[in-house]
Structure 1
Amino acid sequence: MAPVSCWADDEVRERTRRTRRRLLLAAARLFGEDGYHGASVADILAAAGLTKGALYFHFRSKYALAEALVTEVQRSWLSIEIQIADRGLDPLWRLLVETDAYVARWMYDAVVRGASQALGDPELLAMRGHWFERWETATADLLVDASAAGLLAAEVDPRRAARAVVAIATGNYTLADGPEDFWARMTESWEGLLPVLTCPAWRAGWADSPWHTRPAPDPEAYRLAREP
């Protein structure tokens, strides 16, 4: 007699996924509120409503939880980049749209906020370095493509410009007085940077575009996207 096709295994896998997501979301929210050092394992378990056994089934330590959060963020970045690449935009417009997507998640995605707050802890210095290196590389790749397409001003070094973009975004996040201020600061920063970085033809098209009046992100959409 043939066995039933893996129904129990499928149920276990789904339950395991839900438990893992609950742990990650609880850790992210507490890291976002209290920082990596300030959030204890006991606090995370209480927030998730789970036991130590559930935690150690998935993660061997609080550090491993933080590592998993950073990996989740990096995977979400890659997913965003793939979706935007399929829209047929030129490299500069891709950079603008990708940055908006990153900023929106930095503002309202609990996992991104928790991971970025955790990376401020000295214990996670190596992870922080990889995070920013990956961001700078992705930004530089787009600006190199923009330069090759003649979209940048002749004197602009795309790799130096990429470092400036990442530094400005990080500074805006640090200085912003809440999510709405972060969005406004990034808009103002682009309005200051792009006239210097870009060629006249691209700049004219951007100046006449509806980008300047684009709507701010919807917080509820990002909250619901992370519900376990």
Structure 2
Amino acid sequence: MTPSEPATSVPELPVPVSAWADLDVGERTRRTRRRLLLAAATVFDAQGYRGAALSDILAVAGLTKGALYFHFRSKHALAEALLAEVCDSWLLMTEEIARRGTDPMWRLLLETDAYVARWMHDPLVRGISRAISEPDLREHRTTWMATWESSTAELLAQAETAGLLAPGVDPVRAARAIVAVAVGNYGLADGPDDLWTRMTESWEGLVPIMTTPEWARSWAASDWRRRPRPDAERYRSAREP
């Protein structure tokens, strides 16, 4: 196999990809924080950030105001902690994917699948995604998207160095296009399954024009299109407090 060709078997998507990233705190604190963050995410996803009342979050969590204010000063602080947990657990995910030792294009496909799977089924990601779309937290959305674009551009730059990109493909511009496609699909999708289908179709259009003919042919001959969809229950259960 030459450097410009991927393996014909598809690297398995790590499951669950929604493991918590808070093992450095005490067990009692960890369980209470998890209940509050999970409840906040659930309410944000259902009602939006502005529509979410602390009383609703406490009702879902089954906790008192004292428990809330011991950990978080306000709803805004709760949202910021939720965002931090989502970002920290994502770093764990990318580290796991990097350990697979795949080429940069396969790594990009795996990371995007993991990203989309979290959007589909991770309650914390779903909740914070809706929250940061509102004006109160819009600056966090800007940072989130910029970080996603830069990490995608870095993988594409590595792919270019490895001779995997088609001539004339600019990693930065291609990264912007990939993120824009993913965000657009997220906004247009009629539920999680439709989002997965849309992203699969989008890659079927992007890969042949972004990569070398050799890499694209080998990818097309792989099992990628038949990869299993994420298991919703395993993603949800991974976020149990």
Aligned to 1:49: 62
| C-alpha distance in 1 between matches for 2:72 and 2:145 | 24
1:127-185 per-position Cα deviation (integer Å, ceiling 9, x unaligned): 11111111111101000100111101111001000011011001100000000000000
Q: Does 1:17 align with 2:27?
A: no
Aligned to 1:189: 202
Superposition TM-score, scaled by structure 2 size: 0.88
After TM superposition, give the deviation of residue 101 of structure 1 in Å: 0.8
Q: Among residues 152, 156, 170, which one is paired with 1:139 in the alignment?
A: 152
Q: Among residues 114, 119, 141, which one is paired with 2:132 in the alignment?
A: 119
1:183-204 per-position Cα deviation (integer Å, ceiling 9, x unaligned): 0000000000111101011101
Q: Among residues 171, 180, 204, which one is paired with 2:184 in the alignment?
A: 171
Superposition TM-score, scaled by structure 1 size: 0.93
| C-alpha distance in 1 between matches for 2:159 and 2:89 | 24
Structure 1: stretches of 5+ with no match in the other structure: 1-11
| C-alpha distance in 2 between matches for 1:209 and 1:33 | 39
After TM superposition, give the deviation of residue 52 of structure 1 in Å: 1.0
Report % sequence identity.
Answer: 65
Q: Higher relative CO (CA 8 A, sep ≥ 6), structure 1 or 2? A: 2
Q: Does 1:162 align with 2:182?
A: no
| C-alpha distance in 2 between matches for 1:79 and 1:15 | 23
Aligned to 2:87: 74
Q: Which runs of 4+ in 1 moved over 2 A?
A: none
| C-alpha distance in 2 between matches for 1:78 and 1:34 | 28
- If each structure's helix is expressed as a fraction of its own residues, which one has the higher value? 1
Q: Is the radius of gyration larger for structure 1 or structure 2? A: 1
After TM superposition, give the deviation of residue 104 of structure 1 in Å: 0.6
After TM superposition, give the deviation of residue 13 of structure 1 in Å: 2.8
